[in-house]
Amino acid sequence: MSDKINFLRMITNNNKLNYEGIENCLRNDPDRQQCIYHLIAPKKVIGRERILIGSKRDGCYVILNDLANIKVAYSFGISDKIQFDRYLADKGIDVYMYDHTINSLPYNHSKFHWKKIGICGKKKRNNLLKSLDELIKENGHSSQENMILKIDVEHAEWESLIDINNKILSQFKYILLELHFYDEKESNETLLYYKAIKNLFKTHQCFYLRCANRYLISKFGNNRICKYLEISYIIKKDYIFSKDPTIYPIKEFDFAKNIPNMEEMNLNILKLFDDIY
As a three-state string, the secondary structure of the chain is: CHHHHHHHHHHCCCCHHHHHHHHHHHHCCCCCCCCCHHHHCCCEECCCCEEEECCCCCCCEEEECCCCCCCEEEEECCCCCCHHHHHHHHCCCEEEEECCCCCCCCCCCCCEEEECCEECCHHHCCCCEECHHHHHHHCCCCCCCCEEEEECCCCCHHHHHHCCCHHHHCCEEEEEEEEECCCCCCCCCHHHHHHHHHHHHCCEEEEEEEECCCCCEEEECCEEEECEEEEEEEEHHHCCEECCCCCCCCHHHCCHHHCCCCCCCCCHHHHHHCCCC
Determine the pLDDT at residue 266.
Answer: 75
Burial label, 129 (beta-carbon count in 10 A; 0-12, 13-18, 19+): middle
Determine the pLDDT at residue 115.
Answer: 94
Determine the pLDDT at residue 215.
Answer: 54
Work out the pLDDT band at 8, boundaries 50, 70, 90: confident
CA distances from 54 to 90, 222, 277 (A): 13, 35, 32
For 240-254, write each residue's pLDDT tens digit: 999 988 888 888 887
Residues 145-167, mean pLDDT to the nearest whole number = 90
For residues 239 and 48, the answer to whether their CB atoms sit within 8 Å is yes
As for how many domains the chain has, the answer is 1
For 85-138, write each residue's pLDDT tens digit: 999 999 999 999 999 999 999 889 999 999 999 998 877 777 889 999 999 999
For 175-195, write each residue's pLDDT tens digit: 999 888 776 555 566 778 888
CA distances from 213 to 58, 181, 237, 256 (A): 11, 11, 32, 10
Which residues partner with 175 through β-bridges?
149, 233
pTM of the shown model: 0.90
Give residue 261's domain range.
2-273
Half-sphere exposure of residue 39: CA atoms within 13 angstroms, side-chain side: 20
The length of the chain, given as a count of residues: 277
